[in-house]
Amino acid sequence: MYSSIIAVCWLTFILVWLVMGGLAKKSIRAKGQHHTSTIYMLIAITMVVLVLHTKGLEFLITYQLFPSTPLIESIGVFMCAAGIAFAIWARIHLGKNWGMPMALKEKPDLVTGGPYQFVRHPIYTGLWAAMLGTNINGGFMGLVWLLFSATFFVYSAKREEKMMLRQFPDDYPAYMKCSKMLIPFIF
């Protein structure tokens, strides 16, 4: 049952992203902008394939970090649902300003309300919380994926912040002073 609820959460996320994807402002390609998300995805897929096909490492896939109890699974479902809801709230609040990670938009607006009052990158925050909830019983490979995704989200957030500082040289520094990057009240 828990895995079905988590699957519905992720399906909801995918559907919202697909439906809202066509509503965004046109992206402009910056000089020297690379497709880093594609590169990271290829690295992640390669890591998974290598681990799955390496003899003697099966324990990495089956070993669980936490016991599979109703409480742990309920916590995972709650974190997944809350994370997806937070990411969707951020996506809806961004409206036409949304774009792929590190994409520049034509005539962008600086969005600081809604979930953006808590963190500057709430979509990453929500997705990571959802991934944590999904992988709470995922074992060692779930932990590897969480560390990999956290690294990607921090890297992407820092790159996006450099772009935001160029696009909003007066407003973004003030926004940075009154909000955290990814974890409310902490980081």
Q: Which span out of 36-50, 72-86, 92-106, 141-155 was modeled with the highest average pLDDT?
A: 72-86
- For the chain, what is the mean pLDDT? 81
Output the pLDDT for position 85.
98
Q: Is residue 103 part of a domain?
A: yes
Q: Is residue 182 part of a domain?
A: no
pTM given for the model? 0.79
Output the pLDDT for position 97.
74
- For 157, the 3-state DSSP assignment is helix
Q: How far apart are CA 85 and CA 75, in angstroms?
A: 15
Confidence of residue 108 (pLDDT cuts 50, 70, 90): confident
* Tokens representing residue 185 in the block: 């009240």
Q: Is residue 76 part of a domain?
A: yes
Q: Is residue 93 part of a domain?
A: yes
Domain residue limits at 158? 35-177
Q: Is residue 166 part of a domain?
A: yes
Lowest-confidence segment of 55-59, 66-70, 119-123, 183-187 by average pLDDT: 55-59
Task: For 4-62, write each residue's pLDDT tens digit.
Answer: 899 899 899 988 988 886 665 555 554 444 555 566 566 656 665 665 555 555 565 56
CB burial of 69-91 (b: ≥16 within 10 Å; e: otherwise) equals eeebbebbbebbbebbbbbbbbb
Output the pLDDT for position 127.
94
Q: Is residue 70 part of a domain?
A: yes
Which CATH number characterizes residue 42's domain? 1.20.120.1630
Q: Is residue 90 part of a domain?
A: yes
Q: How far apart are CA 6 and CA 148, in angstroms?
A: 20
CB neighbours of 81 closer than 8 A, spacing ≥ 6? Answer: 5, 9, 130, 133
DSSP 8-class letter at 118: T
Q: Is residue 11 part of a domain?
A: no
Query: Into how many domains does the chain fold?
Result: 1
